[in-house]
Amino acid sequence: MKGWPVGLLVSLAVILWIAGACGGGGSEEMEAPEVSITPLMGPTATPAPSPEPAPDQASPESVPTVYLPQVKSLEYLSADVAVPELPATFAAPSQDTALAALIRTTLSGYAGTYSVVVRNLDDGRSASWNAEEVYTAASLFKLALLLEAYRQRDSGEIDFSEVLTLDEEYVEYNFGTLEALGLEEGDQLTLADALKAMIIVSDTPTAVMVQDVVNPVRVDQTLRSLGINDMSVLTEELPTTARDMALLMEAVAAGQGVTDESRRQMLGLLLQESIRGGIPSGVPPNSAVAHKTGNLDNLTHDVALVWGPGGPYVIAVLSDRSWESEPLATVSRAVWDYFVANP
């Protein structure tokens, strides 16, 4: 059997073993058993059982949805408005008795306490009435924050692209403006957008955010350096006077402590203040008025830089009346007309 295939030899050996097991060796023929052949299959992978979740691992269905804070854009609030020219230097104040008498006469028919300061930046003609009366500033304090923020930005201390979070502590100061802005607790916005909301719609939560960035102690220090002695943002009373507010608006108009571009940006925001019932209502339509209002249940304030017929002038009108803007508009109109008649 030399040279036979090994497979054939193995098959014969198997047959002989089967025959022997069945009593082979005799002469009786045996019927060969039927052999069914199953084709050889490749190895079959048995699926592994799905692992049970670890005891401390939640299944996907039970994982809560997490909403990340959104950085909201308020770029739509403001436009790049043209800021009219101002004198390179402001004239020294000189008392105008006729203008002072006009102011007293105009407001004498209204109930309540009023304080007024007017100063023409071109020729210095000035008048005041009850200028040292102390009031709560209300939203007028935002004008001080505006100037301080730009001063710190220009000195490299803060970055207007910094992202702030509207936490619960800020939302508590909401008087309805957050809803108008589409903002809610947890939202984020840049410092630049917070300044826009603070000035254009007089939003208070964003103002408090700005105040925390610039530090109220620094704000008061700047006020004192400008000769503003009664105004302060360090107390809840937020004291101020018409004299202080006129000086502060002059500082903004002059760009004290900031670049000329920052001065233009500040005035651009103030030109877009949306509450227009006070001083802006007393001048002809489309007149340029950069201003900041302050209103509470027991006071109505407005301080403005008006580009008038006899040159730009600052006017501050403060009162202890509740949301009564008509007297402010009346005295604003009287001052405008006075400069028309006395250019």
What digits encode the pLDDT tens for the residues 190-200?
Answer: 999 999 999 99
Mean pLDDT, residues 224-243: 97
Name the DSSP class of 303. Answer: E
Tokens of 153: 């930005």
Q: What is the pLDDT of residue 32?
A: 39
Q: What is the pLDDT of residue 223?
A: 98
How far apart CA 198 and CA 271 sit, in angstroms, is: 13
Residue with more model confidence, 1 or 259: 259
CA distance to 29, 245, 267, per residue, from 83 (Å)? 123, 21, 7
Q: What is the pLDDT of residue 70?
A: 74
Q: What is the pLDDT of residue 66?
A: 59
Mean pLDDT, residues 36-47: 39
How far apart CA 158 and CA 170 sit, in angstroms, is: 20
Q: Rounded mean pLDDT of the chain?
A: 87
CATH number belonging to the domain at 75-341, selected among 3.20.20.100, 3.30.390.30, 3.40.710.10, 3.40.50.720 = 3.40.710.10
How are beta strands 94-95 and 125-129 bridged, if at all? parallel
Name the DSSP class of 45. Answer: P
Does an H or E element contain 171, and which? helix 168-171
Dihedral of CA 70/76/81/87: which sign? Answer: negative
Q: Where are the domains positioned within the chain?
A: 75-341
Q: What is the pLDDT of residue 39?
A: 36
Q: What is the pLDDT of residue 34?
A: 39
Residue with more model confidence, 22 or 107: 107
Mean pLDDT, residues 197-214: 98
Q: How much is the pTM?
A: 0.81
How far apart CA 218 and CA 211 sit, in angstroms, is: 10
Name the DSSP class of 234. Answer: S
How far apart CA 229 and CA 70 sit, in angstroms, is: 41
How far apart CA 62 and CA 212 sit, in angstroms, is: 39
Cβ neighbours of residue 190 under 8 Å, at least 6 residues apart? 71, 160, 161, 162, 163, 164
CA distance to 91, 259, 266, per residue, from 253 (Å)? 13, 12, 9
Percent pLDDT > 70 in the chain is 80
Of 53-67, 75-89, 139-153, where does mean pLDDT reach its minimum?
Answer: 53-67
Mean pLDDT, residues 99-106: 98
- Tokens 């592994």 belong to residue: 48
Between 191-200 and 141-154, two packed helices, what is the crossing angle to 10 degrees?
150
Mean pLDDT, residues 131-158: 98
Tokens of 19: 């025959």
Mean pLDDT, residues 45-53: 51
Q: What is the amino acid identity at position 21?
A: A
How far apart CA 160 and CA 153 sit, in angstroms, is: 7
Evaluate if residue 259 carries a pLDDT over 60. yes
Evaluate if residue 26 carries a pLDDT over 50. no
Mean pLDDT, residues 123-129: 98
